[in-house]
Structure 1
Amino acid sequence: MKRMAMTLDEFTRSVDAKSLPRVLQMQSGYYFQGSVYELYGREGSFSCGELLNIIGISVTRLIVELQSEGSKSITVDLSLDYPGLFRIVADKRPYTSIQEIVDSVRISPECLGQPEFYCPEKLQLPEGTIQAEESFRLTAIRTEHGDSHVDCEVTRKDSKHIFTVKLSHTGEFYECADDQFYTLGELVEWKMHKGRKRTVTWAKSLPSKEKCVSELPEDYSGELVLTPVYELQTVSKFGKNVVFIPSTLDVEVLDVTEECDGACFMQPLSFRDVFAKPIEFFPFKAEVIEPPSQVQEELGFLKSSKQVIVHSAYQAKRILASEIRSEAQRRFLIPVSYNGRFKRRPRTFPTAYDLEVAKSNMEQLHVVATRAFETHYEGLSSVLVGDQYLVHKMETSEVIYGDKRKTVEALACEKMVGKKYEAVLIPMCLDGGFVEVVHDKKQYMLSDLCHRFSLPFNVKVSMRDLSVKEDLLAGAAGLQLEEEITDPYLIVSTLDLAQCWEVPVNRTKMALQLLERWNGPKLTQGEAVRSPVEEIGEDCYFTLRRYVNASVLPPPRPPKRHQKHSEDTVKLPPPRPKKLDPPSPKSPHAANKAEQAVPTSRTSSCAEQNTPPPRNETSKTSLVTVTDSGPQKATGEENSPRHKTIKQDDDDTKDYEHIDEDELASIRRKLNELSIHGKRKTINTYAMQTAKQV
């Protein structure tokens, strides 16, 4: 059967990316005589009959149509790195079969590649029934005994059920509503359905250091219709360069893949292609075909080297961290091998639930209240600004609320009243605020922090990493270590092994040509391999946090302000969600995509280890009486932790930052000026300012 020529744009929109590379022959179109003229890396013309090997198809930008009621729609161009977040509007057009869904959407083991659909009617399947309008997630495509089918996952009452649906199954299937945030890059990679435009709404603008070429109107709140603009990565016969051509080039092409020997074309590999290779593929020598356009200073050898050695591929651990400041926060990925030293900084806690999450067996959590709260439960304690607490554990307690006995969850604490301690219960979801009092003056390695304490955790660099020319973290006033993640990396070195670094796969765009196997020493993670600290953008930060927080429930919302109520309007605090285990790391050679919500809660991926608690150093000048840090038990009255004193040095070692005794004295002084305890609640504004300064 004779195949028909098609336009380059028709080929681009119809080809399955999984079938690449494909060999095309130029048939007709507007072109100059001769072969392959290159203009700024983009193709200008072709000769008739010329062969091109299509090795990749990518979206270069998006044409965005703004839909406004009562006015003419306008269009703007957006680059894929536009610093904004978007919500998807569910496609109202139905799919008529599972096969059509599979052909249109991207399905993969990564959670962003597992779309959700529903059917208005029941689906009778061998494993059971999917109810009408019950959502199901497509998780994988499999072929067994010549039959292709898709694995579907349904969640019912916190349990998952797996169903198998044949691709030939027909019916009406609709895309489920999606309330998550996505960057434009994520939309292009995961959520653009083939042959369909994607409608989204603008959710949030992210700060960007670089000025955008085009921006959406600030006051625009309508729908945006996205149309991708494609570009093809091609290699000509016997050519040694990757050439990019727009899909809209006015030429006709014929797919001659079956008749042409693809071995005569160069086979460039992206970093993602290299990472997907089996372990036996490494190490190898490669030629740099397309160097990265942007790369941090430590990895500059990737731009200047003609040839490199790729030693291995694996998932490496990184600590996701944010600079502690109200505006223009910087975000970092810190390797666990970072050689700098950290000192602790105080954490802030908006609710008692956060205190319960943050408490540790390694030391006693000591906090000071920065906001007042008056409880309406008889049996639970109110909180005043400046009150100090030693946090113990959550308890279930019977209280009187509206002349009725209720069972609620509360946090058991010891309130510090002068030199005495009073056992109290405070509401789990009180609408207040607390700041940690830090007595620990030790300097820690990053790996020690992750083993001894739960993340998130606040620190500052007390001694910079002397192994690098410029330490990105040293200039930060404070850092919040938020999550431990795993991300794909390649170990890449120069031919003489003088430069050998871990290079991120997902944030390095370059192409390599395999030359030969490397028979020299095979390097793995160790002293010879260096790991840079990466400064990442806001979009990358939100993406990484979304993957880590996929399976973690947010904390309960604080109760609304109390109003006059009767027995009929009694409302208890929402129940505390169950603690979930952090998502397990992916296996090597699998992308670290865990999904899906922009993070709304703080979680920890660094598990607490059964290591001895840090010893606390004693100081010279007594300022406040508290318990010792660490899980110690009193052996006698004179050794009781309630009678021990935490002191502060007068020397230069007091540069560790915390809400220290001076801060507490300032709060007490403010309280004494008001003199009447009943007026303590009027200084909430002062306390909030104090918390922000800390």
Structure 2
Amino acid sequence: MALSLEEFVYSLDLRTLPRVLEIQSGIYFEGSVYEMFGNECCLSTGEVIKITGLKIKKMMAEICEGAIGGSESLKPFELPMNFPGLFKVMADKTPYLSIEEITRTVNIGPGRLGQPCFYHLKDLKLQNLIIKQGEPIRFNSVEEINGEMLMNCGVVRNHQSHSFMLPLSQEGEFYECEDEHIYTLKEIVEWKIPKNRTRTVKLTDFSNKWDSSNPFPEDFYGTLILKPVYEIQGVLKFQKDIVRILPSLDVEVKDITDSYDANWFLQLLSTDDLFEMTSKEFPVVAEVIEISQGNQLPQSILQREKTIVIHKKYQASRILASEIRSNFPKRHFLIPISYKGKFKRRPREFPTAYDLQIAKSKKETLHVVATKAFHTLHKELSPVSVGDQFLVRHSETTEVVFEGTRKVNILTCEKLLSKTHEEARLPLYMEGGFVEVIHDKKQYQISELCAQFCWPFNVKVAVRDLSIKDDILAATPGLQLEEDITDSYLLISDFANPGECWEIPMSRLNMTVRLVNSSHLPADAGLLQVRSFVEEITEEQYYMMRRYESSLSHPPPRPPKHPSAEEMKLTLLSLAEDTTVNLPKSLKSHHVDRPRKLHPNESGQDCRAPIGFQNDLADVERQKNKHGPLQ
């Protein structure tokens, strides 16, 4: 049965791709295909095309009525795919009438982003379980069991997960659950846009460091309706270029997948397709059809029409690092352990005594210099002057007298005097400032740094990697090495010159290849020289990595409480006439940068300050702005 192209796209189940279509009623223009503005706009009757994907070409946005003041009204506008805002996804009020409709419309895949939650309007009675009306059901994956397609689902009761299966034929009224998570536009495009539906979102944050103009009215943080514009991706018979077709093209098509030999088409694979291949299917020989612009590999390795060998896919370790500099934007890097340059350690900056407590290590005594004065009303606690030096020892709890007796978490340190040492007791809530004193003059390989020191730590390249023509790390003023992450890579080599292999990132390199039959595969990759490269990543990619890595960590320790508002008020009033003390000259040469994240604990676990503690520090900052310096 012939359908319009739009009707075909509307009914398309992405899990059944690829599909082979025959043009029943096409647009003829002196040839089979005419390309205009990057999209195929003419297809002749009888043309056969294999559909390999359906992608969102662009995102249109429309501001909801009432989201802006007055009678101002904005027409729909294009929201750039790299828009650096954060959004809250609003639940879709339109019901899904079967599990099969959900699988056809909603992206379901591995990981949290691909596991949506729905609830049913009535109780669902299963063989061993009753799903109550309105109870959240998490959809984990689609599975085939004994020839029947089933949805693997789960519910959480009393902190315990219960798994069950629902057939795709299960009918009812299913509604999306409220989603409390915050997403980037890229995440919404990939996971949270139901096919052939709009998506209502609320803008919650916007980076003011974005170079492009802001598409929203001033101070807008309202509700938007996102409307995706799709494009069909496919390949024509005997052609190796990917064609792109807008669904609005006025043609009728017929699905002939079951009666057509798909071997007439070249087999094209995207990076995602390669990722889904099993390890036994490698190595393969492939010709590069398309490659994303701006990739950092040498052009001699990856370029169009080049024949390569893809030896395998695997997980490789990288060190996530950020440039140390006072102005924005900062650059971010992924450094392989094989990097041959050498580093010298650089001092860190700690904004609070709590940061000192987390950064202390059993391997090395933390030596710091105070850059900000701190006065206390309690004789049980120690005052701090600018220039005081401390050796950080351990944390404990002590009692102070303030409207009765109360317990305070403190950090016990040794205060270094000219000839002696004395004990200092600093409250963990102390809003101070400290700079690390580095006595270590040794040059380290990156593997030595990772083995001997706790994350994060600051370094500077002392000797560049001479095996790299342009070492981008050597030009940085300093680096903060933040954590060791694991990422997915493909190991490739040039088919004509297989002397060395390169690791290329699967998630940050969009590539399309066609498989080439070859009976002469090169030697096993284990016998070849494997080369890695320092990769510069975008700010969005950086924060996504921090986000996914931290989701695997245990919760950070409970932060200390800062003193009561009344105590701060007394301190502020008693110190209103204090003057600011200049830093010693010896400290001015330290190039330091306030860490973006809270330092990890001694085991190397990633420990970021919870939102509550960040708000506490923000309260202190507001008090400073209102009353003067808090010392």
Q: TM-score, normalised by structure 2?
A: 0.82
Does the 8 Å contact 1:451/1:606 carry over to 2?
no
SS at match of 2:371: strand
Does the 8 Å contact 2:289/2:305 carry over to 1?
no
Equivalent residue for 2:332?
A: 331
1:242 equivalenced with 2:242 (yes/no): yes
Distance 1:606 1:124, change over 3 A: farther
In structure 1, C-alpha distance between the alignment counterparts of 2:401 and 2:120, rounded to whole Å: 48
Q: Deviations over 1:380-432 (max 9, x none)?
A: 444443332222233244444421344x4332322324332233432233333
Give, in angstroms, the shift of residue 89 of structure 1.
2.8
In structure 1, C-alpha distance between the alignment counterparts of 2:365 and 2:125, rounded to whole Å: 56
Distance 1:81 1:169, change over 3 A: same
Structure 1 residue ranges without an equivalent (≥5): 567-598, 610-681, 688-694
Equivalent residue for 1:37?
A: 34
Question: Out of 565, 570, 582, which is 1:563 matched to?
Answer: 565
Counterpart residue type for residue 520 of structure 1 = P
Distance 1:128 1:35, change over 3 A: closer
In structure 2, C-alpha distance between the alignment counterparts of 1:131 and 1:359, rounded to whole Å: 50
SS at match of 1:303: coil
Q: Which moved more, 1:303-312 or 1:140-149?
A: 140-149
Distance 1:412 1:295, change over 3 A: same
Equivalent residue for 1:521?
A: 523
Question: Out of 7, 12, 32, which is 2:9 matched to?
Answer: 12
- Taking the TM superposition and a 5 Å limit, the aligned residue runs for 1:569-584 are none
Q: Deviations over 1:276-313 (max 9, x none)?
A: 21222222221122233332253553116521111121
In structure 2, C-alpha distance between the alignment counterparts of 1:32 and 1:531, rounded to whole Å: 49
Give, in angstroms, the shift of residue 565 of structure 1.
6.7
Equivalent residue for 2:534?
A: 533
Counterpart residue type for residue 38 of structure 1 = E
Q: TM-score, normalised by structure 1?
A: 0.75
Counterpart residue type for residue 485 of structure 2 = I
Distance 1:141 1:418, change over 3 A: farther
- Taking the TM superposition and a 5 Å limit, the aligned residue runs for 1:161-180 are 161-164=161-164, 166-167=166-167, 168=170, 170=172, 172-180=174-182
Q: Deviations over 1:623-642 (max 9, x none)?
A: xxxxxxxxxxxxxxxxxxxx
In structure 1, C-alpha distance between the alignment counterparts of 2:550 and 2:4, rounded to whole Å: 44
Equivalent residue for 1:24?
A: 21
Give, in angstroms, the shift of residue 358 of structure 1.
1.5
Counterpart residue type for residue 78 of structure 2 = D
1:496 equivalenced with 2:497 (yes/no): yes
- Taking the TM superposition and a 5 Å limit, the aligned residue runs for 1:444-523 are 444-494=444-494, 495-498=496-499, 500-517=501-518, 518-523=520-525
Considering only aligned residues, what root-mean-square deviation do their CA atoms show, in Å? 3.3
Distance 1:606 1:357, change over 3 A: closer
In structure 1, C-alpha distance between the alignment counterparts of 2:183 and 2:233, rounded to whole Å: 30
In structure 1, C-alpha distance between the alignment counterparts of 2:353 and 2:339, rounded to whole Å: 33
Distance 1:71 1:396, change over 3 A: same
- Aligned residues between the structures: 573
Q: Deviations over 1:359-394 (max 9, x none)?
A: 222211112233344456664444443332222233
Does the 8 Å contact 2:362/2:602 carry over to 1?
no
Give, in angstroms, the shift of residue 165 of structure 1.
5.0
Does the 8 Å contact 2:115/2:138 carry over to 1?
yes
Q: Deviations over 1:119-151 (max 9, x none)?
A: 687777777777776655433334445472323
Give, in angstroms, the shift of residue 563 of structure 1.
3.1
SS at match of 2:530: coil
Equivalent residue for 1:270?
A: 270
SS at match of 1:356: helix
In structure 1, C-alpha distance between the alignment counterparts of 2:33 and 2:391, rounded to whole Å: 74
Give, in angstroms, the shift of residue 208 of structure 1.
7.1
Give, in angstroms, the shift of residue 96 of structure 1.
5.3
Give, in angstroms, the shift of residue 547 of structure 1.
0.8
Equivalent residue for 2:48?
A: 51
Counterpart residue type for residue 473 of structure 1 = L
- Taking the TM superposition and a 5 Å limit, the aligned residue runs for 1:32-111 are 32-39=29-36, 41-69=38-66, 70-95=71-96, 98-111=99-112
Same amino acid, percent of matched pairs? 43
Structure 2 residue ranges without an equivalent (≥5): 569-594, 606-626
In structure 2, C-alpha distance between the alignment counterparts of 1:173 and 1:162, rounded to whole Å: 20
Give, in angstroms, the shift of residue 212 of structure 1.
4.3
In structure 1, C-alpha distance between the alignment counterparts of 2:286 and 2:260, rounded to whole Å: 25
In structure 1, C-alpha distance between the alignment counterparts of 2:552 and 2:126, rounded to whole Å: 28
Does the 8 Å contact 1:55/1:233 carry over to 2?
yes
Give, in angstroms, the shift of residue 207 of structure 1.
6.9
In structure 2, C-alpha distance between the alignment counterparts of 1:213 and 1:499, rounded to whole Å: 44
Equivalent residue for 2:581?
A: none
In structure 2, C-alpha distance between the alignment counterparts of 1:72 and 1:390, rounded to whole Å: 61
Does the 8 Å contact 2:487/2:505 carry over to 1?
yes
Give, in angstroms, the shift of residue 498 of structure 1.
4.9
- Taking the TM superposition and a 5 Å limit, the aligned residue runs for 1:268-667 are 268-296=268-296, 298-303=298-303, 306-325=306-325, 326-375=327-376, 379-406=380-407, 408-494=408-494, 495-498=496-499, 500-517=501-518, 518-524=520-526, 528-552=529-553, 553=555, 559=561, 562-564=564-566, 601-602=597-598
Give, in angstroms, the shift of residue 162 of structure 1.
3.4
Distance 1:453 1:59, change over 3 A: same
Counterpart residue type for residue 196 of structure 1 = R
Q: Which moved more, 1:395-404 or 1:465-474?
A: 395-404
Distance 1:256 1:169, change over 3 A: closer
Equivalent residue for 2:156?
A: 154
Q: Which moved more, 1:197-206 or 1:371-380?
A: 371-380
